[in-house]
Structure 1
């Protein structure tokens, strides 16, 4: 992975008073950005919704289940639709989906708001469940293949998505969906990078001359040495890339 070169540009050096004055000016813009985000979230809560058949089938560790069952008794359901390359080993699976899924670990805060989180893989269950095992993830995991076209009706099947659902008794409704940079809502790494002096180090960013920007947004920004970055620790732990055989135990 490229390191920041020692001759990379740096901001001008000033005294603490000047630094704080510039930071205070930026803080005004940050607070306006936060308030605009709150206003957008308020508008999102006022969107209409569309009914989805709660009997749509998915495949999980217990076999065939339904969209309604995935709620696990909670009122709301938040789903990440994981892209899948059928028949391919772990290094060839989606680096973007691996990046965001790796960062969703603690679900208790979602549960406290009556929200179930689940991954709906867009590929076959046995292969993708083995990938979940390879990565060491514990999030609820299903294959959406049996109902994928109806779950993502009108959208690009095969692309990463977040979708939100609410149930009213046995009726299920979709309330929101997003894709592409919208899935950054699941991320903390890029959000933290945005706070640093060099940012994400990607060419599209508006940075001063001399700032390092080697990470192209073409998949390589979440890959290193031929595989998704997060996989390397799993390889070091001795886990196999082969996703073709067997089914992991229910966890």
Structure 2
């Protein structure tokens, strides 16, 4: 194994500073790409897709759980898939392991769910075994074929206007591998992180950066938390920069 050279501290810091310039360029490019996603045209969903969930029958609209946005990951857990019936496929299991606590997405009016063709009893069993807590539904119709996830995993994003549902984004292949954090998921939604610094179309919901952050078990509390106050002080002092 041919390793990079070992250098003095000043040379290491200079190399890091040069790399940081490139990393900042990547951050800005990623922000610009997310801004383009927020301007993607919407596709109306005309079919009434039906799923089975822990509480029985559910439509695509039901999967929103009353929130405005919905992120749907197609996980392969069903007969014929490697790992069945004890595990979902290896790749989809790695994805499930990476999903942040969905309370952070819920706080931004966004619901995250997995969907598979396995029966609910099997889904609940493997969730308990693996420690997964995200909502997970059973597909019963052509949802997977209609949304490009019948042969391969993928993530579809939807938004609703009342009872009308629209598809706003889709990503699969290596595009999925960067997902998992609340930030990454929000960046693929039509509304984004909903913070004032974002380049979003006029009228989109936005709040001051960091103000909505909270502990995942405290989003129902009212008023700023100590953690949020600490973040605001850090921002004011320049400790937190993008």
TM above 0.5, yes or no, is yes
Match of 1:49 in 2: 42
1:159-170 matches, cutoff 5 A: 159-170=152-163
Q: Are 1:141 and 2:136 matched, yes or no?
A: yes
Q: Are 1:71 and 2:67 matched, yes or no?
A: no
Match of 1:234 in 2: none
In 2: Cα distance, 1:39 partner to 1:184 partner:
19
Q: CA RMSD in A?
A: 2.1
In 1: Cα distance, 2:161 partner to 2:78 partner:
35
Q: Match for 2:51 among 26, 36, 58?
A: 58
Q: 1:79 to 1:176 in 2, by over 3 A?
A: same
1:26-75 CA-to-partner distances (Å, cap 9, x unmatched) read 11111111111111111111111111147310000111111101111100
Match of 2:31 in 1: 38
Q: 1:89 to 1:122 in 2, by over 3 A?
A: closer
In 2: Cα distance, 1:54 partner to 1:73 partner:
19
Q: Secondary structure at the match of 2:146?
A: coil
Match of 1:186 in 2: 179
Match of 2:86 in 1: 90
Cα drift, residue 9 of structure 1: 4.0
Name which structure has the greater RCO, CA cutoff 8 Å, separation 6+: 1
Q: Are 1:111 and 2:91 matched, yes or no?
A: no
Q: Are 1:19 and 2:12 matched, yes or no?
A: yes
Q: 1:45 to 1:152 in 2, by over 3 A?
A: farther
Aligned residues: 179
The two structures have a TM-score, normalised by structure 2, of 0.68
- Tell me if structure 2 keeps the 8 A contact 1:105–1:139: no
Q: Are 1:123 and 2:112 matched, yes or no?
A: no
1:64-103 CA-to-partner distances (Å, cap 9, x unmatched) read 1111011111000011110124163325x30000001112
1:176-196 CA-to-partner distances (Å, cap 9, x unmatched) read 0111111113247xxxxxxxx
The two structures have a TM-score, normalised by structure 1, of 0.66
In 2: Cα distance, 1:76 partner to 1:156 partner:
19
Q: Match for 1:29 among 5, 22, 28?
A: 22
Match of 1:245 in 2: none
In 2: Cα distance, 1:186 partner to 1:135 partner:
19
In 2: Cα distance, 1:150 partner to 1:180 partner:
18
Moved over 6 A (4+): none
Q: 1:114 to 1:64 in 2, by over 3 A?
A: same
Cα drift, residue 153 of structure 1: 1.4
Instruction: Give the stretch that moved more between structures: 94-103 or 179-188.
Output: 179-188
- Tell me if structure 1 keeps the 8 A contact 2:154–2:173: yes
Cα drift, residue 127 of structure 1: 2.2
